[in-house]
């Protein structure tokens, strides 16, 4: 690993092209602009909306807005200095960050000694010329580093993004009063520490739920060693954290049902008709047919989830909430209805599934979900729609393996989508590349739905449809696709499906398998969550890459390579041995 704090002398060299660096540059630029605009008293009132006039004046007299902080992951220090220069910033050599290093180590179960986190504080002038800074925590992640997963996780969640207020003339009484005021108005202790390298003490808080500042975390910074004041702050955090964390996990079912209720009531559609002023619960209740008081309770919970936002008792839909609209591109409304409906009910039998080896779905409904849905057409349609709800997984971006294969041939190539539902992936590919032709193999009732979808997309003349099962995989294709199929089945059935594919594939054909892969190191992943779902509700499982390689080998195929896709998925490329 490259150390930020020791390896790179000034002056910085030219920036190293890197997609992660560009992502960090945008985040850094936004933080700089925020610091330049804010007034300390106004920002305090946004962070703690419950402050009265006297409290606000007392707080503003004792502390000032000092910086906005973020964690970045440059390829090396010269690349970071180049980003600073592009924003008109300069910075001294980094100092070690003990607090952030230890927080990262705890979150990602890594040895703190492997995480060389540095702090840099390039100066930024406030609106009246006040001396401020952007506090940049930096961890070097060179190309190919094993820290790339940490960088991706942290960029997505921005755990270390925060606003900081520095206390003028700190003494124990002032610091205790500041901490008490923050807590009294809804902020929650979120750790902290003393940094001996700069002789400063930091008190971290989670912002109140009604904060309007746009940052989830904030801190009080005091020069000097104030660990005596810090101790009760950390004790409160440590005592609260395990119980609160578990409590939040235990209420996960409430989130599922709140989103399902939003979908069932078509609340997203009603909210999306609101202008910038928003709509009151009474108006929304009349539109969706609900009790106004109970709907207001649901709306407040949806605001907490980020699905809606509230201003003055009126509610609006957010960008996240738009995905619950039935007509949104990549709508996830069918998923909300499935996960809050049949699969939610069968998940109640998870304990029995673990004990008996039988799926919860079969124990509840008396048959597997394929047969049950086939006898309930409305559920069959919803299930097919839920499979298509992951459309973003199939966005044909540059470098997509199927697109690369299609581009490698001047003559038209035929893509065979096996058990591809209504053909969401196949339609994406045919739309992206006119030199492709398609064939969809599916159950009869699904084929009929797919015909309509391809006709509506203007692709009916470039795709043929075949009703059948896995034994009917057609020959003569150039590219064969199994998208989220193998995870439905046990190993024996997977080997059978792969043998059918191998028997049908010409010698030079390619097989692409789209699945979520279980991480080899046990790190958190969507695949781990889906593995539980498949076990309880479907009877299948998610697998690691080496597991799929063994299944392919048993069918006379070999794994060529893998590539990541959106939504936590991957594509495995296989060919005949």
Query: Residue 31, by phi and psi: left (phi above 0), alpha (psi -120 to 50) or beta?
Result: alpha
Query: Are the C-beta atoms of residues 285 and 295 closer than 8 Å to each other?
Result: yes
What are residue 178's phi and psi, to 5 degrees? Answer: -60, -50
The closest alpha carbon to 104, from 96, 114, 91, belongs to 114
How far the first Cα of the chain sits from its last, in Å, is 38
With both helix axes pointing from N to C terminus, report the angle between 292-305 and 281-288 in degrees, rounded to the nearest 10.
Answer: 100
Tokens 């954290």 correspond to 241
- The tokens of 294 are what? 């109970």
Which positions ≥6 away from 155 have C-beta within 8 Å? 20, 23, 24, 27, 73
CA 125 to chain centre: 34
DSSP lists the bridge partners of residue 67 as 133, 164
Tokens 């980020």 correspond to 306
Query: Are the C-beta atoms of residues 82 and 89 closer than 8 Å to each other?
Result: no
Strands 570-576 and 557-564 come out as antiparallel
- Cα separations in angstroms, 31 against 99, 197, 234, 400: 21, 25, 28, 33
Residues labelled as active-site residues: 487
Query: Are the C-beta atoms of residues 418 and 470 closer than 8 Å to each other?
Result: yes
Query: Are the C-beta atoms of residues 21 and 15 closer than 8 Å to each other?
Result: yes
Report how far residue 46's alpha carbon sits from residue 212's, in angstroms, rounded to the nearest whole number: 5
For residue 353, the tally of other CB atoms under 10 A from its CB is 21
What are residue 226's phi and psi, to 5 degrees? Answer: -125, 40
Secondary structure element (H or E) that encloses residue 139, with its range = strand 131-139
Helix (H, G, I), strand (E, B) or coil at 309: strand
Helix (H, G, I), strand (E, B) or coil at 460: helix
Based on DSSP, count helices (H) and strands (E) in the chain, helices before strands: 25, 18
Query: Are the C-beta atoms of residues 537 and 347 closer than 8 Å to each other?
Result: yes
Query: Are the C-beta atoms of residues 206 and 187 closer than 8 Å to each other?
Result: yes
Which 8-state DSSP code applies to residue 366?
Answer: S
């Amino acid at each position: 690993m490259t150390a930020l704090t020791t390896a790179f002398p000034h002056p910085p060299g030219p920036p190293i092209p890197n997609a992660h660096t560009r992502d960090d540059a945008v985040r850094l630029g936004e933080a700089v602009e925020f610091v330049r605009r804010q007034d300390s008293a106004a920002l305090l009132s946004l962070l703690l909306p419950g402050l009265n006039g006297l409290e606000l004046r007392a707080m503003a007299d004792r502390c000032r807005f000092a910086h906005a902080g973020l964690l970045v992951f440059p390829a090396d220090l010269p690349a970071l200095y180049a980003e600073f220069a592009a924003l008109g910033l300069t910075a001294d050599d980094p100092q070690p960050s003990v607090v952030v290093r230890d927080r990262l180590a705890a979150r990602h179960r890594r040895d703190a000694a492997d995480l060389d986190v540095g702090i840099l504080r390039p100066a930024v002038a406030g609106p009246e010329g006040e001396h401020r800074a952007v506090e940049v925590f930096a961890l070097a992640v060179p190309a190919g580093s094993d820290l790339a997963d940490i960088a991706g996780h942290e960029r997505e969640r921005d755990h270390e993004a925060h606003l900081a207020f520095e206390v003028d003339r700190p003494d124990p009484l002032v610091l205790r009063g500041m901490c008490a005021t923050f807590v009294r108005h809804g902020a929650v202790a979120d750790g902290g520490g003393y940094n001996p390298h700069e002789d400063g003490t930091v008190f971290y808080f989670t912002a109140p739920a009604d904060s309007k500042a746009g940052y989830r975390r904030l801190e009080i910074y005091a020069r000097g060693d104030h660990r005596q004041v810090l101790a009760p702050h950390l004790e409160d955090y440590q005592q609260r954290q395990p119980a609160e964390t578990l409590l939040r996990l235990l209420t996960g079912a409430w989130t599922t049902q709140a989103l399902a209720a939003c979908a069932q009531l078509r609340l997203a559609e009603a909210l999306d008709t609101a202008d910038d002023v928003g709509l009151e619960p009474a108006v929304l209740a009349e539109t969706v047919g609900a009790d106004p008081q109970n709907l207001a309770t649901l709306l407040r919970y949806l605001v907490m989830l980020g699905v809606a936002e509230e201003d003055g008792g009126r509610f609006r839909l957010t960008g996240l909430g738009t995905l619950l609209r039935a007509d949104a591109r990549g709508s996830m409304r069918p998923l909300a209805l499935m996960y809050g409906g049949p699969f939610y009910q069968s998940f109640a039998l998870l304990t029995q599934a673990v004990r008996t080896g039988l799926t919860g779905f079969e124990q509840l409904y008396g048959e597997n979900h394929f047969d049950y849905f086939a006898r309930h057409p409305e559920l069959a349609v919803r299930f097919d729609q839920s499979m298509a709800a992951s459309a973003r997984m199939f966005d044909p971006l540059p470098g997509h393996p199927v697109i690369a294969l299609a581009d490698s041939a001047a003559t038209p190539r035929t893509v065979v989508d096996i058990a591809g539902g209504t053909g969401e992936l196949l339609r994406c590919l045919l739309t992206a590349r006119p030199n492709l032709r398609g064939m969809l193999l599916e159950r009869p009732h699904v084929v009929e739905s797919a015909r309509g979808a391809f006709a509506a997309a203007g692709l009916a003349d470039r795709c043929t449809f075949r009703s059948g099962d896995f034994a009917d995989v057609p020959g003569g294709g150039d590219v064969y696709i199994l998208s989220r199929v193998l995870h439905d089945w046990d190993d024996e059935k997977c080997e059978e499906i792969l043998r059918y594919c191998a028997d049908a594939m010409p010698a030079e054909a390619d097989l692409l398998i789209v699945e979520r892969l279980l991480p080899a190191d046990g790190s958190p992943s969507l695949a781990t969550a889906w593995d539980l779902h498949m076990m309880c509700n479907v009877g299948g499982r998610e697998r690691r890459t080496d597991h799929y390689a063994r299944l392919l080998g048993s069918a006379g195929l070999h794994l060529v390579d893998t590539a990541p896709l959106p939504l936590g998925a991957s594509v495995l490329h296989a060919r005949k041995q």
